[in-house]
Structures are given as C-alpha cells and as structure tokens.
C-alpha cells in the first residue's frame, strides 16, 4: 500500500494519503491503495478511522489532472465510477470516518472529505470544486454530496463558479465541523474525537451511522422504520446489557465496562 499509510493506535486507525510530490492527487494507484487500506482495517479491533494527507500543504488536491487529460468519454465515465465506488465504500464503511483536512481539498479531495462522516480542518485548508475550470463536472460525488451537506444553493454557487473557499468560510457554511490553528492541533483534535467515539458502545455507534445515512436517502415514514430496526438490533447485545446495567448499578466507570465489539 505504497500511497496510503495505515497506523493503528488503540481503537483508532489513521490512513494517510502519501503522494506529497503531487499534493496527494488521486490517480488510479492512489485510489486502489486507499480502497485496500479500508479493506485492510480490522473492524473487530478498530472503532473509528481518520483520513488525512501527507505533508503540510495538501489533504488531496484532486484527481490527477495529467492522468485524466487524455481520457475518452468512455474512460472518463469509467474513472468516475472507479472513484465513486471507492468513495461510496468509505461513506458506507461500518465505522465512523473523520476527515482531518490539513490543506488543499480540491475536486476529488473535497469529494473524498465529503464521503467521510465528519470533517475537521486546519486554518490553512482550502476547499473547492474547481472542475468547471478544467472543462469537466465534479466526478467523484461532488454534484451530489455537496448540496446534501451545505444546501443546494450554496453548493451550486461553489460548483458553477469553481470558486475555492478558505477554512473559515467552510466552517461558516457547515462544510467542516471545526477549524484548528495548526495541523498538530487538528490531528490532536481528530484523535480526541475519534477516541471519544471509540469509547462508546461500538454496535450502537455503527447502527447510528447506518440509520442516519440510510434514513437520509428515503422519506420520513421509511426513515423511522430504518431507525426502529437498528434500534431493536441493539437489544440483547453485550453492549446494551453492559451499558444499561452500568447505569442501573450507578457504576461511575461505566464506559470502561462496555465490551468490545462482537460479531453477531
Ligand atoms: N493532479 C495532478 N498533479 C497535481 C494536482 C492534480 N490535481 N494538483 C497538484 N499537482 C501537482 C502539480 O502538478 C505539481 O507537480 P510538479 O511539481 O511536478 O509540477 C505539484 O503537485 C505541486 O503543485 P503546484 O506547483 O501547482 O503547487 P501550488 O502550491 O503552486 O498550487 C494548487 C497548489 C492550487 C492546489 C494547484 O496545484 C492546483 O490548482 N491543483 C489542481 C487543483 C484542481 O483543479 N483539482 C481538481 C482536479 S479535477 C478533479 O478532482 C475531478 C474529480 C473527479 C474526477 C472524475 C473522473 C472522470
């Protein structure tokens, strides 16, 4: 996995996209390594994933423009599907995924960040979908996810105008949850958030992600049925017995007693 490093610390896996000489631009090999890194995560041992970029400058500066420059229509569509399938895998990955955006998140970089559950960034981060300036549309989910996250009017402004935005604006419009002064502060905050998530009952956290993601795709009547099923699914698990038992026993160390995730 040459282009993506995976480091596991406790319950948290950090995946670092490592092609700094091209500002971590996504070519086919980088995308393959990213998918392999997710496939390689031990979901019984890890409870939260952080995705970030190597270097001080860039999260991901987009899909590789050199590689795309000679594509035919058919090749363009195929490459779009290739990236979309991987980003959809990240979006539906059973564990929560936090994007720690340490610099440029442009085009495919912003699309990668948007396929993660939560986005945090450093003050120097920059976000955008500049594809129209290159003569193409966003192709890794940007025309679909941006509007769902920040609202369709703002998303159209960003996509039609190809205007990049700085961290403070990204925060103001709800594209990121928080901005940190330095990359060190960003990574510390991402790890703290990931550890906080990892300290919760893991089956419940997974079911929350599934319920929230799947519920957004359907109408409210269908959405609450999704919730009911995933809510019910938590019962009789060791997590539920321990979690509620701790409360009833007034155990102050209750979080420590929630058992590790077990396949059901
Ligand atoms: N692709 C390939 N190489 C890149 C990319 C990229 N997206 N971004 C940067 N690089 C390379 C540069 O070519 C340069 O390489 P070299 O040193 O060999 O010349 C190196 O990274 C450093 O970049 P710069 O010298 O340009 O660094 P600057 O600090 O001057 O500028 C910028 C940084 C502003 C980020 C600038 O590099 C830039 O504008 N990059 C392109 C950003 C962009 O337009 N991204 C969107 C790409 S399109 C896309 O992502 C579509 C996704 C969907 C695809 C669907 C498929 C069909």
Q: Catalytic: which of 75, 91, 131, 227? A: 131
CA distance 260 to 47: 9
User: Each residue of 67-85: pLDDT tens digit?
Assistant: 999 999 999 999 999 999 9
* Pairing status of strand 58-60 against strand 104-106: parallel
Q: Are 33 and 4 in contact (CB under 8 A)?
A: yes
131 labelled catalytic: yes
228 labelled catalytic: no
User: Each residue of 98-116: pLDDT tens digit?
Assistant: 999 999 999 999 999 999 9
Q: Catalytic: which of 21, 111, 169, 236? A: 111
Lookup: tokens for 221:
């009547």
Phi, psi of 205 (to 5 degrees): -60, -45
pLDDT of residue 131: 98
Q: How far is CA 72 from CA 30, 75, 79, in A?
A: 21, 5, 10
- Best CA proximity match to 87, nearest among 130, 141, 123, 124: 141
pLDDT of residue 1: 60
Q: Is the pLDDT of residue 253 over 80?
A: no
Distance of alpha carbon 224 from its chain centroid, rounded?
24
Q: Are 181 and 123 in contact (CB under 8 A)?
A: yes
Output the average pLDDT for the chain. 95
CATH architecture designation of domain 4-198: Alpha-Beta Complex (3.90)
pLDDT of residue 250: 84
Q: Are 20 and 58 in contact (CB under 8 A)?
A: yes
Mean pLDDT of 237-241: 93
pLDDT of residue 261: 54
Lookup: tokens for 94:
């059973």
User: Each residue of 164-184: pLDDT tens digit?
Assistant: 999 999 999 999 999 999 999
Number of helices (H) and strands (E), helices first, in the chain?
12, 10
Rg of the chain (C-alpha set): 19
Phi, psi of 252 (to 5 degrees): -70, -25
pLDDT of residue 252: 62
Q: Cα 152–173–186 angle (5° rounding)?
A: 130
Tell me if 4-198 shares its fold with 202-258: no
Q: What is the CATH number of domain 202-258?
A: 1.10.12.10
Whose alpha carbon is nearest atom 53 of ligand 1? 139
Lookup: tokens for 181:
């002064």
Residues framing ligand 1 (Cβ under 6 A): 22-23, 25, 61-66, 68, 76, 79-80, 83, 104, 106-108, 130-131, 134, 138-140
Task: Report how far ligand 1's centroid is from the alpha carbon of 214 (Å).
Answer: 33
Mean pLDDT of 19-28: 98
pLDDT of residue 27: 97
Residue of 21, 22, 23, 108 best suited for mutating to test ligand 1, as the one with most atoms within 8 Å of CB: 23
Q: Is the pLDDT of residue 257 over 70?
A: no
The domain spans of the chain are 4-198, 202-258
Mean pLDDT of 201-206: 96
């Amino acid at each position: 996995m040459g282009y993506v490093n995976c480091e596991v610390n406790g319950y948290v896996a950090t995946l670092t996209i490592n092609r700094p000489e091209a500002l971590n631009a996504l070519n086919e090999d980088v995308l393959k390594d990213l998918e392999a890194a997710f496939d390689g995560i031990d979901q019984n041992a890890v409870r939260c994933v952080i995705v970030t970029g190597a270097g001080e400058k860039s999260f991901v500066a987009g899909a590789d423009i050199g590689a795309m420059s000679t594509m035919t229509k058919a090749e363009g569509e195929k490459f779009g599907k290739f990236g979309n399938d991987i980003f959809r895998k990240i979006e539906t990955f059973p564990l929560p995924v936090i994007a720690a955006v340490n610099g440029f998140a442009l085009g495919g970089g912003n699309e990668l960040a948007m396929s993660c559950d939560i986005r945090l960034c450093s003050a120097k981060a920059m976000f955008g979908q500049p594809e129209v300036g290159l003569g193409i549309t966003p192709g890794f989910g940007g025309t679909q996810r941006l509007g769902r996250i920040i609202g369709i009017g703002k998303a159209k402004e960003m996509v039609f105008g190809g205007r990049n935005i700085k961290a403070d604006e990204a925060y103001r419009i709800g594209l990121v949850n928080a901005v940190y002064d330095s990359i060190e502060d960003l990574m510390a905050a991402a790890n703290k958030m990931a550890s906080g998530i990892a300290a919760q009952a893991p089956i419940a956290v997974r079911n929350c992600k599934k319920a929230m993601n799947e519920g957004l795709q359907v109408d409210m009547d269908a959405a609450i049925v999704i919730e009911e099923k995933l809510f019910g699914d938590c019962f009789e698990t060791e997590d539920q017995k321990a979690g509620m038992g701790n409360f009833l026993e007034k155990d102050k160390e209750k979080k420590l007693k929630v058992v590790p995730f077990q396949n059901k």
